[in-house]
Amino acid sequence: MSNETASFGEILIYLIGGIVFISGGLFTAWIIRPKRPNEEKLTTYESGEDPLGGAWGQVNIRFYVIALIFLLFEVEIVFLFPWATVFGREELIEATDGLWGWVALSEMFVFIFILALGLAYAWRKGYLEWDKPEIKPSDFKGPVPTEKYNAINHKYSKFTSEQPKK
């Protein structure tokens, strides 16, 4: 077995280590923590927001656009760091009379230019705009008068019904 294959053993150790640490931590917590659940504690934690609906609910497509653009620049950063460390070596640049540096630099500029074009595209074509959809009131005339709806809405709205539960 060659060296490179053997060095995958280190990854295996990391994997085992990770599993042991996480399961160990969870197990210890499970033993020593007090178990007094209430409704508030059992809800999904999402940065302090109250969760709405199930996990299968539809998400606005615009979130994906934002996520994609975020990913674009995340990848750029991931790529830029090793590039800076690998290609920025002074002795190599000196030894090749600057050619090494120019090649690396121009390659990275092309890369960033094309990435920036992607952002420019999304911007110019208006995919970054979050204009509110215009909600047209329906021309449907129901038999129930509007005041009754308003009364019901008022009765069950969050601010009036938020009494502490027993």
Partner 1 sequence: MEYASQLNNQLQNTIALLSGYWPEFIIVIGLVVTLIIDLIFFNKEKNSNWWIGFVNLVFLILAFTKQVDVYSYFSNLGEFMKLVLLFAGVLFIVFSLTQTHQTKKAGEYYIIFNGLLIGALLIAKSTNLLVIYLGIEMMSISAYVLSAFSFNKNSAEASLKYLLFGAVSSAFMLFGMSLLYGFTQTLNINDFELLHTVKVIGDLPIKLAVFMTMFGFLFKIAATPMHIWSPDVYEATPTFVVAAFSVIPKLAVFVLLFNIADKFLVFPEVELLLQFTAILSLTIGNFAALWQKNAKRMLAYSSIAHTGFLLIAFFANMQSFVFYGLVYLIMNFAVFGLVKVVEQKFSITDIEQYIGLGKKIPLIGVLFVVALISLTGLPPTAGFTAKILVFSGIWEKYLTNHNPVYLSLFVFGLFNTVVSLFYYLKIPYFMFIKKSNEVILNEHKSSTVLTYLIGSLVFVLILCFFLPNSLMDMIYSINFAQ
- The residues of the shown chain that bind partner 1, judged by CB under 8 A, are 1-2, 4-5, 91-92, 95-97, 99-100, 103, 114, 117, 120-121, 124-126
Select 129 or 147, whichever has its Cβ closest to partner 1: 129
80 is written with which tokens? 């830029």
State the DSSP string of 121-133.
Answer: HHHHTTTT--PPP
State the DSSP string of 142-164.
Answer: -SS-HHHHHHHHHHHSHHHH-PP
R_g of the chain, CA atoms, integer Å: 29
Select 126 or 164, whichever has its Cβ closest to partner 1: 126
Name the minimum Å distance from CB 95 to partner 1.
Answer: 3
Name the minimum Å distance from CB 99 to partner 1.
Answer: 5
Select 78 or 120, whichever has its Cβ closest to partner 1: 120
